[in-house]
Amino acid sequence: MDSSPVNWEALDALIIDFAKSENLIEDSSPPSSPSLSSSPSLSSSSYHSRLIIRQIRRSLEAGDVDAAIDLFRAHAPFVLEDHRLLFRLQKQKFIELLRKGTTEDRGPAIDYLRTFLAPCALNAYPEAYEEFKHVLLAFIYDKDDQTSPVANEWAEKRRYEIAGLMSSVLRAHLHAYNPIFSMTLRYLISIHKGFCFRQGILSPISDLTERLLLEERDPPAIPQESLYEAQPFDEVDIQALAHAVELTRQGAIDSLRFAKGDLFQAFQNEICRMRLDAAMLDELVREYCIYRGIVESGVQTLSEPLKGNPLESGCYSTQDSSLDVDYSSAKWSNSETSATTDMSSMRGTDVELRYASDPANNLEDCSTSGSHQSENLRLLRNRSHVACERSKRKRWRGRHDELDHISDIHFNRCSKQEVSTAMQVASATISKAQQGVENINGEEKYEIVLGMKELASRGMAAEVLEEINALDPNFFAQNPVLLFQLKQVEFLKLVGLGDHSGALKVACSHLGPLAASDPNLLKPLKETLLSLLRPNEDALVTGLPLHALATSLQVAFGKRLGIEEPQLVRIMKATLYTHTEWFKLQMCKDRFESLLRIDSLKENSTPVLTSLASSKSNTESCNLGSSQVTISSTTRLSDDGGSPNQASSRDVICDENAILKVMEFLALPRADAIHLLAQYNGNAETVIQQIFA
């Protein structure tokens, strides 16, 4: 059974949408962000707008304020019409004129003060004129004097602050939000870090998350002055936003003011303030796309050794990246290597290690020499499916900053080349497939695994069984549940065709003996046999999610060949788990999980007929709302650090208003507020009196 909590199909959709939205793949179809979200407030941001924002950010970070102003004038003139923003730009321009350090530059700096900065300071905002007088000290204090009153004005950090501020403003006004997956990743990693810190757990993916999610955030956008007198917002929204993106209460109020009370827009504004390492994310996405057969891998790319920084070549970890999660104690352990392995040690390692490590020392002799010609013809027929599927793959384009998009002519030429290359590789693989696993090179192993995935997704179970047995006769002996699933597919196909005797033969020969050796398979066996009572031509489609089975097969057989799961899946497994555990502590439902498609990523994609009996928590969850109540289980509280005396007391029903009152007055997280209320029978006034007594 696939133990992964990640719904690979949902992740595929988000990854493809991200790659299209960021123009990382050569594809003529538009990104599908709007269809991914059920909320109309989450719109797909355009690549062109995000590109303009990146160019403005780079100009300001480099101190080229004039270039940024030109871009504002051409694409976002509203920024220059806002005197509060314009004053900050002009003040930075004045500093950059003085930074050149020559006597000749002082004249233009003084002229700029008289003509632009001083008049703007009078109308920008109340504190602007004081700031104007303060920045004049830059005339007499050197930029290298770290003890001067204007050291902060001289600091290059100020460039990044104003660049981040302008980015926040532009994102909101142009609705140029990051793709859904990018926002989801920011959110999940931030919760993961907070959960691990709070629980005192060493994160198994810290080697990735520390590099991927940067510590600094862009400054928040400035609300219009007219919005400072806005009607008070619902405390439920304030607390939800504050704790979702780690804001103070006042910060959450300001964010809601800027978004004119739209909670979800405010959330998007705040989540996009978090900064990801774009180069590292692109490589993680590319690795995933290659693994899933979404894009072409490229033979040259796979055979070239890594040079320089490993982040530039998509290799992020040691060969073994398996992750064991202890769900009862919320602790992780890496099965063979430490999760904090220094990534710099991977310099000089071949990229093929991520896709096709040599498993020769771990596999028995799987040679199938002397196969009949009919098997070669069968393999040829099956490989045609692989070649056809490979022809649909996209070419990885990478991140480019030009404003124009790929032309249709160029795209069509690349597509034809992909088809030709796919047919050549597929035909070359046929003769090698009969020689056993140990004689197949890395690229061919990778194609074989994708071929198995494609066959399984089409319900061609018999063909999958034949090919895998030809390559590795011992595989299904070590993976009996996968064998059971494939035989289920055969059974359901025969039932759909009306061949009941053939279906029963499969059940007697394979399903029955497998269930006899594993009692956990008895229940799915009974459910499978029930299809005999309600024959349906679509029984295979409706009764078994073939894509989930195909993914399970890809992961298991890929590992058998030395092809590890992508690092991105490792991140998703850990962060989705901590997201679930975090909201168990909060004793409520995440208000933003549907917006970011987290709920679909958690949907169980395990084949239903083979889902083994597993205990599921019946913990009551609640939606944030003014009328909700929270049942605070004292047993759960003792697990979260509560006293043993609480475990023996009765459950306490906490009113939502009481929870919010304690959270607001004591500035506490939701879980701590519920914890305190449970000690005082849900009485918020008593809790507050005891704290301040």
| Spacing of C-alpha 619 from chain mean position | 26
Q: What is the DSSP letter of 649?
A: S
% of residues, the chain, pLDDT over 70 = 66
pLDDT of 288 strictly over 90: yes
Q: Is residue 498 in a domain?
A: yes
* Rounded Cα gap, residues 601 and 119, in angstroms: 54
pLDDT of 624 strictly over 70: no
Average pLDDT over residues 304-329: 38
pLDDT band, very low/low/confident/very high, at 230 (cuts 50, 70, 90):
low
Any alpha helices (H) in 458-597, and if so which ranges? 461-471, 475-478, 480-496, 500-506, 512-517, 522-529, 539-543, 546-560, 567-586
State the pLDDT at residue 681: 76
Q: Is residue 504 in a domain?
A: yes
Q: Is 560 exposed, middle or buried (CB count within 10 Å of its CB: 0-12, 13-18, 19+)?
A: buried
pLDDT of 225 strictly over 90: no
Residue 505, number of CB atoms within 10 A of its CB: 14
Q: What is the DSSP letter of 508?
A: I
Domain boundary pick from 532, 565, 598? 565
> Which residue is associated with the tokens 């355009």?
46
pLDDT of 375 strictly over 80: no
CA 496 → CA 485, 670, 674, distances in Å?
Answer: 16, 52, 54
- Pairwise pLDDT comparison (340 vs 680), residue with the higher score: 680
* Rounded Cα gap, residues 324 and 338, in angstroms: 12
Residue 33 phi, psi dihedral angles, 5° rounding? -55, -45
State the pLDDT at residue 298: 63
pLDDT of 385 strictly over 60: no
Q: Which of 10-19, 159-168, 229-238, 315-324 has the lowest mean pLDDT?
A: 315-324
- Pairwise pLDDT comparison (383 vs 99), residue with the higher score: 99
Q: Is residue 588 in a domain?
A: no
* Rounded Cα gap, residues 186 and 275, in angstroms: 8
What 3-state class would DSSP assign to 341?
coil
CA 268 → CA 45, 217, 249, 252, 404, distances in Å?
Answer: 12, 14, 17, 12, 27
State the chain's mean pLDDT as an integer: 74
Residue 655, number of CB atoms within 10 A of its CB: 16
State the pLDDT at residue 486: 92
pLDDT tens-digit readout, 489-536? 988 888 888 888 898 999 999 999 999 999 899 998 888 888 877 655
pLDDT of 70 strictly over 90: yes
* Rounded Cα gap, residues 463 and 455, in angstroms: 7
State the pLDDT at residue 665: 74
Q: Is residue 283 in a domain?
A: no
Into how many domains does the chain fold? 3
State the pLDDT at residue 433: 42
* Rounded Cα gap, residues 362 and 106, in angstroms: 72
136: Cβ contacts below 8 Å, ≥ 6 apart? 113
pLDDT of 312 strictly over 70: no
* CA within 13 Å, CB half, 195: 25
| Spacing of C-alpha 625 from chain mean position | 28
Residue 655 phi, psi dihedral angles, 5° rounding? -70, 145
Residue 326 phi, psi dihedral angles, 5° rounding? -90, 100
Any alpha helices (H) in 213-362, and if so which ranges? 235-244, 249-258, 263-271, 278-291, 299-303, 352-355
* Rounded Cα gap, residues 294 and 297, in angstroms: 9
Domain boundary pick from 153, 176, 199? 176
- Pairwise pLDDT comparison (148 vs 379), residue with the higher score: 148
pLDDT of 649 strictly over 70: no
CA 621 → CA 184, 370, 590, distances in Å?
Answer: 22, 61, 10
- Pairwise pLDDT comparison (640 vs 607), residue with the higher score: 607
Domain boundary pick from 565, 599, 629? 565
pLDDT of 53 strictly over 90: yes
380: Cβ contacts below 8 Å, ≥ 6 apart? 430
Q: Is residue 248 in a domain?
A: no
Q: What is the DSSP letter of 334?
A: E
State the pLDDT at residue 677: 81
* Rounded Cα gap, residues 398 and 257, in angstroms: 38
- Pairwise pLDDT comparison (190 vs 46), residue with the higher score: 190
Q: Is residue 330 in a domain?
A: no
pLDDT tens-digit readout, 451-476? 899 999 888 989 999 999 988 899 99
Residue 469 phi, psi dihedral angles, 5° rounding? -65, -35
- Angle of helix 373-390 versus helix 442-457 axis, rounded to 10: 90
Average pLDDT over residues 332-342: 39
| Spacing of C-alpha 416 from chain mean position | 32
Q: What is the DSSP letter of 332?
A: E
pLDDT band, very low/low/confident/very high, at 29 (cuts 50, 70, 90):
low
31 neighbors 20 (Cβ within 8 angstroms): yes
Average pLDDT over residues 352-369: 39
Domain interval for residue 120: 63-176
* Rounded Cα gap, residues 11 and 291, in angstroms: 13
Q: Is residue 107 in a domain?
A: yes
Q: Which letter, b or e, does each residue of 636-652 get, where b requires 16 or more Cβ atoms within 10 Å of its Cβ?
A: bbbeeebeeebeebeeb
Average pLDDT over residues 363-372: 41
Q: Which of 235-239, 283-287, 417-421, 565-569 has the lowest mean pLDDT?
A: 417-421
Q: Is residue 110 in a domain?
A: yes
| Spacing of C-alpha 107 from chain mean position | 51
597 neighbors 10 (Cβ within 8 angstroms): yes
Residue 51, number of CB atoms within 10 A of its CB: 18
State the pLDDT at residue 336: 37
- Pairwise pLDDT comparison (604 vs 313), residue with the higher score: 604
